[in-house]
Structure 1
Amino acid sequence: MTSNAATSATHPTGGGADTPPARRSYSYLGPAGTFTEAALAQVPEARGQIWRTVRNVPEALSDVVEGRSDAAMIAIENSVDGGVSTTQDALATMPGLRIVGEYLVPVQFVLVGRPGTRLADVSLIAAHPVAYGQSLRWLGSQLPTHAHLPSSSNVAAALEMLDGTTAADAAIAPPALLDHHEFELLAEDIGDNPNAITRFVLVSRTVVPPEPTGADKTSLIVELPVDRPGALLDLLEQFATRGINLSLLASRPIGDELGRYRFVIDADGHLKDERMADALLGLRRFSPKVVFLGSYPRADHAIVHYPDRYADEVFIEARDWLRGLVSGEPDE
């Protein structure tokens, strides 16, 4: 794989020599060695296929919409910094996309320099502002007089430092970058939060959701109809009155005027669960715009639990009872 953006690499694939399997293409934020690449490496069906590096999330999603790639791996949430606003806004405004899976990647950072560099030589450190902010405690302790050189990405910071296009003495980078380039490893595990995790999602064009597994998640983006007291409560009641837990609720400005927001929602359960389907019908009646992003298996495989009164059978029985009333069936 090359480190240039918008290039592709073919990963060796199995299959007979006479009938090679159809090739699939996956876009991800490159170059090689990023956390996004580590997430894509977790996708069994992506192994041995074409991996296309891109420069940003909108480019990755445009690849999918316009058919250059079959799917794209993008970061959507970080356990330290919360939702990735660029991703949330892109999913809200680009139609025809579905999340088909999620993947978790531990966020660990290393400090690297050019070959021969010593930690004592470091005074200027290149890093993406998020990675820098998540490493401040270690940096303040070990390099108290250093200065920060912001970069568009940690991989770019390291590569620019390596080829001398920046004045940085060292760079904060993901550990996997060491597998692709010759750096001097100056320090490991420099992140302040050892439990930091980034959640990635695999996005394809619109497809039929996979069958429920019992450990599923449904992602939505919902706009409020009007800015009035209780509007958000009305939205949340669509889930609460059906026993659905929300694992993510984040607001993003719509952008057309002050005070107008859309809400990014992750709800425990699957579209084919009766309680979730009923909630979506309620949302559709309530909101001027509901973007269904997908129902897909949870990365942690945690089974979704709910009270018995919200079981599928309860909703089915109630619906059948109502149909009986409409059709004039006698009471039992």
Structure 2
Amino acid sequence: MSQPGAAASSNDEPQVESYSFLGPSGTFTEAALAQVPAARGKHWRSVNNVGEALDDVVSGRSVAAMIAIENSVEGGVTAAQDALTTIPGLRIIGEYVVPVGFVLVARPGTALADVRTINAHPVAYAQCLRWLDTTIPSHAHIPMTSNVTAASALLDDGTLADAAIAPPNILDHYPLEVLAEDIATNRNAVTRFVLVSRTAALPPRTGADKTSIVAELPEDRSGALLELLEQFSTRGINMSLLQSRPIGDALGRYRFVIDLDGHARDERIADALLGVRRFSPNVVFLGSYARADRIPVEHTPAYADEVFADARAWLDDLLA
């Protein structure tokens, strides 16, 4: 049985209350999972990609999976967004933010001048590209499935890489040396993670909530996107994320990943969801959950719950 906070191999037998995360141990995803009180002391399954993590949830091997959904530098993680859109029966139940920093590591005895080829997860590579182009302009890049895998692969026989981009705590897990620190372009970068489970009852409102949906435009025409966005602006709802993703069946056909400030049980959010459902041919509700920063959602008095309730009561009286 796994010890509290310990990561289990993806080959381990599934146990009750397992949680999946992008491994191996030491990744930013594991750091996000460590913020979940319900996961402490439970079995943690290390997986190789988002698809495997969500398949664990769908199949019941894990009660939930932690996946990266957005980075403050690179934007939305499209693989995660597309998977949540197309795999039925999933629900976001929590949001967590992890500061992101990187170091360049190598096998002991390697000098920075010796580095020609670098292992790196594509997102980490993009965040460190300015430093790499300045310091090692002729370098080659080998994409890896995770930041920790990029580093651990340096210890494999026959590896082609001389160095790797890795999390700052990598020396806690592997016998490597740091060649350079703080190599990310933006030192204030953070990654937003979401905990995904099977469809269940919504968590209660906290006043500091977020609602995530995916909506398709009914057709490719002038003003269609504006009509979709008006469902939110006319109800005083702020969008913290709006990202387009191709549907894939034809050119010009897009769906939009949208994060709304508020909970589906807030009257303004519920009213907007009804409007989106009437407008869009396909709406995927991904969940309402507490914001990671716990900052209360603000709105003008005109969009308070009681205003919507009063308007509905007024109409009921007219119809009666």
Give the TM-score category using the shorter length.
over 0.9
Size of the aligned set, in residue pairs, is: 316
Aligned residues of 1:5 and 1:55 also touching (Cα < 8 A): no
Query: Which digits, 9 at most, give the CA deviation of each residue in 1:250-271, with x for residues without a partner?
Result: 0001111111111000000001
How far did residue 206 of structure 1 move? 0.6
Amino acid at match of 1:46: A
Where does the alignment leave 5 or more consecutive residues of structure 1 unmatched?
A: 11-21, 328-332
Partner of 2:310: 317
Instruction: Note if 1:260 corresponds to 2:253.
Output: yes
Among residues 7, 10, 35, which one is paired with 1:6 in the alignment? Answer: 10
1:220 is paired with a residue whose SS is strand
The answer to whether residue 173 in structure 2 is matched with residue 180 in structure 1 is yes
Say whether the 8 Å CA contact 1:110–1:190 is kept in structure 2. Answer: yes
> C-alpha separation between the residues in 2 aligned to 1:27 and 1:252?
26
AA aligned opposite 1:47 = R
- Residue matched to 1:151: 144
C-alpha distance 190-94 of structure 1, shift in aligned 2 (>3 A): same
Moved more, 172-181 or 133-142: 133-142
Q: Which amino acid aligns with 1:33?
A: G
Which of the numbers 189, 199, 217 marks the counterpart of 2:192? Answer: 199
Structure 2 vs 1, CA of residues 205 and 3 (structure 1 numbering), >3 Å: closer, same or farther? closer
TM-score by length of 1: 0.90
Contact 2:118 2:162 in 1 (8 A): yes
Q: Greater CA radius of gyration, 1 or 2? A: 1
Query: Is the counterpart of residue 113 in structure 1 residue 106 in structure 2?
Result: yes
- Range moving further from structure 2, 89-98 or 150-159: 150-159
The normalised TM-score by structure 2 is 0.93
Cα distance between partner residues in 2 of 1:235 and 1:291: 14
Q: Is the 8 A contact 2:22 2:146 kept in 1?
A: no
Residues 272 and 95 of structure 1: CA distance in aligned 2, closer, same or farther (over 3 Å): same
Q: Secondary structure at the match of 1:276?
A: helix
Structure 2 CA distance for aligned equivalents of residues 275 and 136 of structure 1: 43
1:74 pairs with 2:78: no
Q: CA RMSD in A?
A: 2.0
Map of 1:29 onto structure 2 = 22
* Conserved 8 A contact 1:126-1:158: yes
* Gap runs ≥5 in structure 2: none
Following superposition, the deviation at residue 114 of structure 1 comes to 1.1
Aligned-pair CA distance for 1:153: 3.0
Indicate if the aligned counterparts of 1:57 and 1:74 stay in contact, CA closer than 8 A: yes
How far off its partner does 1:68 sit? 0.7
Q: Secondary structure at the match of 1:134?
A: helix
Preserved contact between residue 8 and residue 44 of structure 2 (Cα < 8 Å): no
Q: Secondary structure at the match of 2:159?
A: coil
Q: Is the contact made by 2:7 and 2:45 (CA closer than 8 Å) also made in structure 1? A: no
